[in-house]
Amino acid sequence: MPTLLAELLDPHKRSDHLYGVADVEEPWHLYEIDLAAGDWAGAADNGVALQWRADTHLLKYELWDGPPPPLTTWDATWSGSVRMGCGRVSALSGHGGGVFSGAEFDLGRREAVWQVRVHRKSLGHEEFTAELVGCTVFKIQFWAAPPGR
């Protein structure tokens, strides 16, 4: 069974436009990812684009030693692969023309290809305090891609 190696709940609760998660040394690649109509997530070198309208967003990162167990109770799931240059990632968001970075999460390897799975869940009254109701949580799980990818 796969083991969770590291995790980080980004302490920044975002109330602005979330662009996605990018390699901290090459964040501009995130803006080059074109999502198809109806898609809310996608990846290319050095970034995972996320597009979802919500009042606030929270992000949790996880690093696994293999494919993590599926989370069937979440609203939606996207999966793919991404190459990250420096091996450290951060969320990027914007408001009023400014761009803001979140907490850094270290994947532990430079120039590596990662499998990534993004789970999305909107928090409701039945589960959470009023402070978190209406917030959308993204759980972003990484594990090493098989050789040759």
Mean pLDDT comparison of 1-5, 129-133, 144-148, highest-scoring range: 1-5
Determine the pLDDT at residue 126. 67
φ/ψ of 145, rounded to 5, equals -75, 150
pTM for the whole thing? Answer: 0.90
| CATH homologous superfamily for the domain 4-144 | Competence, DNA-entry nuclease inhibitor, ComJ (2.60.34.30)
Cα distance between residue 134 and residue 8, in whole Å: 21
Q: Which residue, among 71, 79, 82, has the nearest Cα to 121 in the 3D structure?
A: 71
- Tens-digit pLDDT profile for residues 63-74: 999 999 989 889
